[in-house]
Amino acid sequence: MQSFAAEDSRRLLARMRSVMAGKGTAQARLDKTVRVIAEGMRADVCSCYVMRAGEVLELFATHGLDPEAVHVTRLRVGEGLVGEIAAHTRTLALADAWSHPQFVYRPETGEDFFRSLMGVPLIQAGRVIGVLAVQTREEREFDSWQVETLETVAMVISELLSATELVNRGELFPANGNAILPQKIQGVSLNQGVGIGFALLHRPDIRIGRLVSEDPDAEKVRLHAALDVLKADVDELMELSDIKEGAHSRDYVDVLEAYRMFAADSGLIRKIEAGIDSGLTAEAATQKMHEETRMRMQQISNPMIRERVLDLDDLVSRLLNGLTQDHVKIDMPERAILVARSLGPAELLNYDAKKLAGLVLEEGSSTMHATVIAKALDIPVVGQVKDVLARVDSLDSLIADGNTGQVIIRPAEELKEIYAESANALARQKQAYVQERHLPSTTLDGHCVSLLLNAGLEIDMPALAHTGADGIGLFRTELSFLSAAEMPDVREQASLYKKILMEADGRPVTFRTLDVGGDKILPYWRASRVEENPAMGWRALRIGLDQPSLLRQQIRALFNAAAQTSLRIMFPMVSAVDEFVAAKRIAIDELERRRAKSVPVPETVLVGAMIEVPALLWQIDELSDHADFLCIGTNDLLQFIFAADRSNSNVHDRYDVLSQPVLRLLRDVAESLGETQTEVTICGEMAGRPVDALALIGLGYRRLSMTPAAIGPVKRAVRSTDISRLEPFVRDLCNDSRRSVRSKLRGFAQDYSILLS
């Protein structure tokens, strides 16, 4: 028997359905709807605010406030409680709204007598389109069913607002008003290359015709039937012959395996069933789960967690297709530039890869699964292109510049010709890099510079053969933890690490132990509190030492995987020598325990540390006494040195790594480690940029670890360099006080015919 809360919710939704299906203008139906909601929620006030141009929330309908305030009261996003809800895309339930620091009093509304407030965002297609709020005279503690009911109601209101278009779409996206003139939008490069073609709009959002149901059991049957079809679709993708063949088969298979696990996530299914119990249809409950989960996941700053949002989008799109029987044949133009808000891997594979010339996303990251697939298919990708779907029409001429992160809409013919030549040159260059992968990374005067890869998943390993890299300089073990549904046990970890070592085929692999915590929150591990400065908080080795069983299990898994072969273990976020000694002691204890039990052990075990905490710079000599090797993580180290968060767009470019303080710092570290004969690798982004790599080589570094795409360009620079000329020049640059010496280093390269891409 359903609870009273569920019955109450279904009764309210049934009344809303009658109002929404009735006659009258959209405004009249919205006016009636807020009255029905107020009565159903036993509230004195219900108000609906709608987003207008310029991110302004306008009061569009109310029951309980002064009707004269309708279309008069406006709040900016972030202003007042309503603006707060819209800005952070989260529900607020306050017994005493007036005491909240964000409360703003608007006298024209007549809200003097209402103390409590509960408000939820109205969301459509991933965007906040308004806010729905209820208020009461007395101070009321809103319970969980009331919050759930208002969130369910908000989903229905969002559909009403979207279907009736109370606010013209062109008002919110004025850039689309002139569809003739060319436009240039800056995004972020996710995969290099240049795509020239015609826009193919990916529209996964499906119009849900029926929102309210009267038979929850029947809706659950429909849901599970659609889920069975969804799982079968993924299995079919796994079995496609064109996926199984080719150099990138493992990329496809691993991504789709993770995708299949996500499709069977029982937690998501339970949320949909809860929506059905509240009175929604299977489609509406699925959409409600999608919007709520999507917004919650987007609040997490860790990219591996955020990119799971894109898998969720893909799954929901397919599930809604199954529920609505909405199967549309994709008609693709030749040289199609696929434009989407977000994209899942299976959705991308639905398109004919031979016709795809590029991919443009409003969201996206370099490690999202669709990007992984696009890289395997050698498709240029530009992500984080704001409002591109609103600015582009189907079959518009497009240029997707994956080198600069720019998207050009309706470019002039002359510009297309210039880009076409650039694309041809890039294709020739890529082919040249492939042909050079077997050449040694040796300078003109005979110095060997080892070029290694940064990796984190099994799908990264084929790049060893494709690039000719010397090994894996940094394997980020946390990526498999972050993408897993639950904490991997010793057996699961060992299985992955063994595969990595087998794929490396004798080339060295440096495994960095778990670097989670701070902003890298495991989805199955709840942090005790949110840290204000997570980059410098309780993370990485600090967690491992405070919870040694976690670190011990990972070390045990690494020993299991590397039995009778060589193993390299590296500890991250070391800030003091005694921390490293304590961590190394755990590894030694585990090794001695295995030997005592006659359990197979690695032939050799080397233990190193990452230098990314500035305090360690003054402990180099002592650390070298205990560490077999060191690795400089320039990304974290330099953001700490300059107190500039590299993820903050306001400050991330406040300094150049090719400046006097950085060069002097790296020079001093290289000299100290040279005296102790300690192996050192640079593994930050700096190592993968040819000009920066020249500076590092000139300072004495001979091991650089980078992304696969950087190997070819850096190798070409190395092979055209004479270190006997480079070193004294870079040493002189250490005394140059200008903000950046990048131009001087480029000039040197040009003078001595060093090849820079």
The CATH number of residue 718's host domain is 3.20.20.60
| Residue 331 pLDDT class (50, 70, 90 cuts) | low
pLDDT at 715 (0 to 100): 95
Residues belonging to the chain: 757
Q: Is the pLDDT of residue 723 over 70?
A: yes
124 inside domain:
yes
Looking only at the bridges linking them, the beta strands covering 116-124 and 92-94 are antiparallel
pLDDT at 245 (0 to 100): 45
CATH, residue 141: 3.30.450.40
Same domain? 106 vs 8: yes
Among residues of the chain, what percentage have pLDDT more than 70? 80
Q: Residue 129: which H helix or E strand, with range?
A: strand 127-136
Same domain? 164 vs 47: yes
* Mean pLDDT of the 532-554 span: 81
Is the sign of the CA dihedral 328, 225, 485, 243 positive or negative? negative
Please tell me what DSSP assigns to residue 403. Answer: T
Q: Which of 58-67, 297-306, 463-472, 649-658 has the lowest mean pLDDT?
A: 297-306
Amino acid letter for position 85: I
144 inside domain:
yes
Q: What are phi and psi of 367, to 5 degrees?
A: -110, 5
- The CA-based angle 597-602-603, given to 5 degrees, is 115
Same domain? 37 vs 163: yes
Q: What are phi and psi of 501, to 5 degrees?
A: -65, -40
pLDDT at 296 (0 to 100): 64
562 inside domain:
no
Helix %, strand %, coil % for the chain, to 5?
50, 15, 35
Same domain? 30 vs 163: yes
What is the spatial distance between Cα 310 and Cα 528, in angstroms, rounded to a whole number?
A: 27
635 and 655 in contact (C-beta within 8 Å)? no
Q: Residue 743: which H helix or E strand, with range?
A: helix 742-751
What is the spatial distance between Cα 663 and Cα 699, in angstroms, rounded to a whole number?
A: 8
Q: Which two tokens stand for residue 246?
A: 């080719």
Q: Which of 27-31, 60-64, 458-462, 737-741 has the lowest mean pLDDT?
A: 458-462
* Mean pLDDT of the 492-510 span: 93
Same domain? 140 vs 219: no
What is the spatial distance between Cα 715 and Cα 467, in angstroms, rounded to a whole number?
A: 10
| Residue 247 pLDDT class (50, 70, 90 cuts) | very low
393 and 179 in contact (C-beta within 8 Å)? yes
Q: Residue 356: which H helix or E strand, with range?
A: strand 356-361
What is the spatial distance between Cα 368 and Cα 482, in angstroms, rounded to a whole number?
A: 13
Same domain? 124 vs 216: no
What is the spatial distance between Cα 285 and Cα 217, in angstroms, rounded to a whole number?
A: 13
CATH, residue 273: 1.10.274.10
739 inside domain:
yes
Same domain? 165 vs 279: no
Q: Which two tokens stand for residue 61?
A: 């309908």
3-class DSSP assignment, residue 307: coil
Number of folded domains in the chain?
A: 3
pLDDT at 508 (0 to 100): 96
For residue 138, the enclosing domain spans 4-173
What is the spatial distance between Cα 703 and Cα 722, in angstroms, rounded to a whole number?
A: 17
473 and 454 in contact (C-beta within 8 Å)? yes
* The last residue of a domain, from among 173, 196, 216: 173
Strands (E) in 643-732, as ranges, are 679-682, 703-706
23 and 100 in contact (C-beta within 8 Å)? no
Q: Which of 117, 131, 127 is closest to 85 using CA atoms?
A: 131
598 inside domain:
no
69 inside domain:
yes
* Mean pLDDT of the 629-652 span: 80
Q: Which of 372, 354, 539, 541 is closest to 456 using CA atoms?
A: 372
Looking only at the bridges linking them, the beta strands covering 116-124 and 127-136 are antiparallel
545 inside domain:
no
Same domain? 155 vs 212: no
Same domain? 162 vs 289: no
What is the spatial distance between Cα 11 and Cα 31, in angstroms, rounded to a whole number?
A: 19
What is the spatial distance between Cα 397 and Cα 638, in angstroms, rounded to a whole number?
A: 41
pLDDT digits (tens, 9 = 90+) for 157-189: 887 776 665 665 555 444 444 444 568 888 988
Same domain? 12 vs 158: yes
Amino acid letter for position 239: E
What is the spatial distance between Cα 317 and Cα 344, in angstroms, rounded to a whole number?
A: 9
Rg, Å, the chain Cα set:
29
Same domain? 11 vs 160: yes
pLDDT at 521 (0 to 100): 61
pLDDT digits (tens, 9 = 90+) for 408-438: 998 877 788 888 887 777 777 777 787 888 9
Q: Which of 374, 383, 469, 475 is closest to 708 using CA atoms?
A: 469
744 inside domain:
yes
pLDDT at 429 (0 to 100): 76
CB atoms near residue 246 (< 10 Å): 12
Same domain? 236 vs 305: yes
* The last residue of a domain, from among 173, 198, 229: 173
* The last residue of a domain, from among 307, 325, 343: 325
pLDDT at 176 (0 to 100): 44
